[in-house]
């Protein structure tokens, strides 16, 4: 007998091996119809997979979170089949599911264009209508290589030849079309449905190497319903409108250029926005009991070797050597190297190590607006959201083990208050445990992971497991913001580190007089100023709340006779702490209003002869056609109060 344990705790027994489809049918016809795949002891399998032993089984339907990835993987295969039917001679390479959809890479002499999408989508819909069974077969290496070579698929043949010799090669067929794939897949093409859309085409390289053949990558997305597809396409349209790479330069905040790839040229308005955020954060940190420090950007490699960064992070570090460095280490050739810091933690430990520390000083919360550099691959760069030169809103909390819980609670409360002030009340938290490449023993990792989980529970934080994504020195929490159109942005982090302080010789005198190594909590709230500003631009579509806006108000004249009064209005607003521009140009007021509205200025104060005589201003708010006429003194009081930062 084979005993099948179901998610509800019930057990079904079968007297012979049984497929996932048969298990679903034994439960009920509704489930049999809705079934898409099988989960066997936590692993996804095709619905046709035969279970021949006792196991925990789950039937995957469209309601399951992992079902969407399954759907997207199938859509990639249907796309590839459609392209090869329409354009004979096109070679296929790889086609995975992605976070928002799927893509497939093709080899074809004639380039694809968006104009081809309607034709390809129509053929994909025809393949869905055929409801072709999707079946899995195991082929030996010689057979599959011979098949692909006979069909002109040199890239697939090469890939088959490079797979490990002991690896089982599975092939998935849908009708006469097939592809090498690990699976799993849907039972038939008809299960895919028609809520799919091809979105763009771009260039790619075979195996991701620019030295290899160039490919064409066709992207698409797919959902279980037209409603979800339309919502996604609307979100993409909104995202394009909000793209910080366009809005930032248009608003005069920053620009980027190839002379400093992955770095940012901040313009006056952008730097004003930066300083507003920095001043706000500094006030919050001071109130939270932090001390602020500043550390060198360039450190000798010996520090990075001791910390473990040299062996675990070197490929992402900018290295430097010069004549002075060579002279310093003339007797030690291995030491002729410096590195720009990729993170601040080893430098903060150097400050902690100055003098004898006592348990009475702990917890010591050490913050830095630290300028860091990391050599990110060019393909990973994305505006100011992913850069090579960035400023972390970094801090390290040196504490005793017994203080981890209280400090975690304190940090989570601080982070939540800041996110709410910035307009992000909705966020979730991932727990990232030990990565494959790391320092320290499993026993230390067990201790660190246990401490962070326990502290998170005490802080009331619900965790989503993010396996293998911790830092090389400790597990971490990742705080993920959700923006105005439902996109997720990973920003804040909290890491428990039992290792770096010991590696770098940190210690304190405990209450019993012994010397102990402090625990170090690495934490950030923005992640980096660059990333947070990019997220804010897209979240607000450039229409910042009044306290954040680089230019909070423009005083614009209706007639030139009012120039002196406009200057008086601007001076009073500035004296009240507001950031104000003057527009005295000899242009019509409607033109000025339109121009400043396009620049997303929150307040436009129009003044003319009547306002000058009555000491009033006409206030127009961004996005409103109405205007409010206020006495000047009342306007200054009201608007400056609205513009006050939330601290």
DSSP 474: B
DSSP three-state, residue 527: coil
Residue that is written with structure tokens 């159109």 in the block: 485
The verdict on whether residue 372 carries a ligand-binding annotation is no
Compute the distance between CA of residue 614 and CA of residue 634 in angstroms, rounded to an integer.
Answer: 13
Cα 10 off chain centre by = 40
Q: How many CB atoms lie within 10 A of CB 644?
A: 12
Q: Name the token pair of 501.
A: 């302080």
Q: Which of 73, 269, 365, 374 is catalytic?
A: 374
Q: Is 552 among the catalytic positions?
A: no
Q: Is 181 among the catalytic positions?
A: no
Compute the distance between CA of residue 366 and CA of residue 506 in angstroms, rounded to an integer.
Answer: 14
Residues in the chain, overall count: 647
Compute the distance between CA of residue 449 and CA of residue 433 in angstroms, rounded to an integer.
Answer: 7
Cα 342 off chain centre by = 19
Which H helix or E strand runs over 258? none
Q: Which of 357, 396, 539, 620 is catalytic?
A: 396
Instruction: For residue 465, give every residue at least 6 positions away whose Cβ sits within 8 Å of its Cβ, in sequence order, or none.
Output: 430, 431, 433
Q: Is 476 among the catalytic positions?
A: yes
Q: Which of 345, 372, 399, 412 is catalytic?
A: 345
Q: Which of 156, 373, 476, 600 is catalytic?
A: 476
The verdict on whether residue 412 carries a ligand-binding annotation is no
Q: Name the token pair of 9.
A: 């705790």
Determine the straight-line distance between the first and last CA of the chain, rounded to whole angstroms. 67
- 394, β-bridge pairs: 368, 524
Closest residue by Cα to residue 477 from 518, 522, 419, 445? 522
Distances (CA, A) of 486 to 57, 197, 388: 33, 20, 27
Q: Is 522 among the catalytic positions?
A: yes
Q: Beginning with the edge strand found earlier in the chain, give each strand of the sheet holding 134-139 in spatial order.
A: 134-139, 169-174, 177-180
Q: Name the token pair of 43.
A: 């692993």
- Residue 347, Cβ density class (10 Å: 0-12 exposed, 13-18 middle, ≥19 buried): buried
Compute the distance between CA of residue 213 and CA of residue 220 in angstroms, rounded to an integer.
Answer: 23
Q: Which of 348, 388, 522, 620 is catalytic?
A: 522
What are the helix (H) ranges across 513-580? 529-540, 563-575
Compute the distance between CA of residue 593 and CA of residue 586 in angstroms, rounded to an integer.
Answer: 13
Compute the distance between CA of residue 180 and CA of residue 141 in angstroms, rounded to an integer.
Answer: 11
Compute the distance between CA of residue 270 and CA of residue 273 in angstroms, rounded to an integer.
Answer: 5
Compute the distance between CA of residue 536 and CA of residue 484 in angstroms, rounded to an integer.
Answer: 10
Q: Name the token pair of 336.
A: 């002729």
| Exposure string for 606-641, b = 16+ CB within 10 A, e = fewer | bbbeebbeeebbbbbebeeeeeeebebeebbeebbe
Q: Is 345 among the catalytic positions?
A: yes
Q: Is 393 among the catalytic positions?
A: no
Compute the distance between CA of residue 627 and CA of residue 629 in angstroms, rounded to an integer.
Answer: 7
Q: How many CB atoms lie within 10 A of CB 209?
A: 8
DSSP three-state, residue 7: coil
Q: Beginning with the edge strand found earlier in the chain, give each strand of the sheet holding 298-300 in spatial order.
A: 298-300, 338-340, 319-320
Q: Is 430 among the catalytic positions?
A: no
Share of the chain residues as helix, strand and coil, in percent rounded to the nearest 5: 40, 25, 35
Closest residue by Cα to residue 372 from 185, 531, 137? 531
Q: Which of 394, 433, 483, 611 is catalytic?
A: 394
Residue ranges at the known binding site: 345, 396, 522
Active site residues: 345, 374, 392, 394, 396, 476, 522
Residue ranges at the known binding site for Zn(2+): 345, 396, 522
């Amino acid at each position: 007998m084979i005993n099948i344990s179901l998610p509800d705790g019930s057990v079904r027994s079968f007297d012979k091996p049984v497929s996932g489809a048969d298990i679903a049918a034994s439960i009920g016809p509704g489930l049999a119809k809705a079934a898409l795949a099988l989960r066997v002891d936590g692993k996804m399998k095709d619905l046709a997979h035969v279970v021949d032993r006792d196991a925990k089984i789950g039937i995957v339907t469209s309601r399951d979170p992992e079902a969407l990835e399954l759907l997207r993987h199938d859509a990639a295969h249907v796309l590839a089949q459609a392209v090869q039917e329409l354009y004979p001679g096109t070679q296929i390479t790889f086609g995975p599911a992605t976070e928002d959809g799927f893509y497939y890479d093709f080899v074809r002499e004639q380039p694809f264009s968006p104009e081809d999408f309607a034709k390809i989508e129509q053929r994909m819909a025809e393949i869905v209508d055929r409801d072709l069974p999707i079946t899995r077969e195991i082929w030996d290496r010689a057979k599959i290589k011979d098949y692909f070579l006979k069909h002109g698929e040199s890239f697939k043949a090469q890939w088959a030849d490079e797979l490990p010799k002991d690896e089982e090669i599975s092939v998935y067929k849908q009708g006469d079309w097939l592809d090498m794939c690990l699976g799993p897949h849907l039972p038939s093409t008809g299960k895919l449905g028609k809520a799919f859309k091809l979105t763009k085409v771009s260039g790619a390289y075979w195996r991701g190497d620019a030295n290899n053949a160039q490919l064409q990558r066709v992207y698409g997305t797919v959902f279980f319903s037209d409603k979800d597809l339309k919502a996604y396409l609307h979100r993409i349209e909104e995202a394009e409108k909000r793209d910080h790479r366009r809005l930032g330069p248009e608003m005069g905040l920053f620009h980027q250029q190839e002379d400093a790839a992955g770095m940012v040229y901040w313009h006056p308005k952008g730097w004003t926005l930066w300083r507003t955020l920095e001043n706000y954060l500094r006030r919050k940190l001071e109130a939270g009991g932090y001390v602020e420090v500043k550390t060198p950007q360039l450190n000798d490699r010996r520090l990075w070797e001791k910390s473990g960064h040299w062996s675990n992070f070197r490929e992402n570090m900018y290295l430097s050597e010069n004549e002075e460095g060579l002279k310093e280490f003339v007797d030690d050739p291995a030491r002729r190297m410096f590195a720009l810091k990729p993170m601040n933690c080893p430098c903060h430990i150097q400050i902690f190590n100055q003098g004898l520390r006592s348990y009475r000083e702990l917890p010591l919360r050490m913050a830095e607006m630290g300028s860091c550099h990391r050599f990110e691959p060019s393909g990973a760069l994305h505006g100011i959201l992913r850069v090579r030169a960035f400023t972390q809103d970094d801090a390290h909390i040196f504490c005793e083990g017994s203080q981890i819980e209280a400090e975690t609670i304190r940090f989570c409360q601080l982070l939540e208050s800041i996110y709410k002030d910035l307009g992000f009340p909705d966020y979730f938290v991932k727990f990232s445990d030990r990565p494959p490449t790391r320092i320290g023993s499993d026993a230390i990792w067990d201790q660190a992971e246990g401490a962070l989980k326990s502290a998170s529970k005490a802080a009331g934080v619900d965790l989503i497991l993010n396996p293998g994504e911790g830092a090389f020195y400790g597990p971490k929490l990742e705080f993920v913001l959700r923006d105005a159109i439902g996109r997720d942005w990973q920003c804040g982090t909290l890491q428990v580190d039992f290792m770096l302080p010991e590696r770098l010789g940190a210690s304190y005198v405990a209450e019993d007089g012994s010397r102990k190594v402090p625990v170090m909590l690495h934490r950030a709230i923005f992640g980096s100023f660059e990333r947070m500003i990019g997220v804010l631009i897209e979240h607000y579509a450039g229409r910042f709340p009044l306290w954040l806006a680089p230019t909070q108000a423009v005083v614009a004249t209706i007639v030139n006779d009012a120039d002196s009064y406009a200057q008086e209005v601007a001076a009073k607003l500035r004296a009240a702490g507001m950031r104000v521009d003057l527009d005295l140009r000899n242009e019509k007021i409607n033109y000025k209003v339109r121009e400043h509205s396009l620049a997303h200025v929150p307040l436009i104060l129009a003044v003319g002869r009547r306002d000058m005589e009555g000491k009033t201003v006409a206030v127009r708010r961004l996005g409103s056609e109405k205007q409010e006429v206020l006495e000047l003194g009342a306007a200054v009081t009201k608007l400056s109060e609205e513009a006050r930062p939330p601290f």
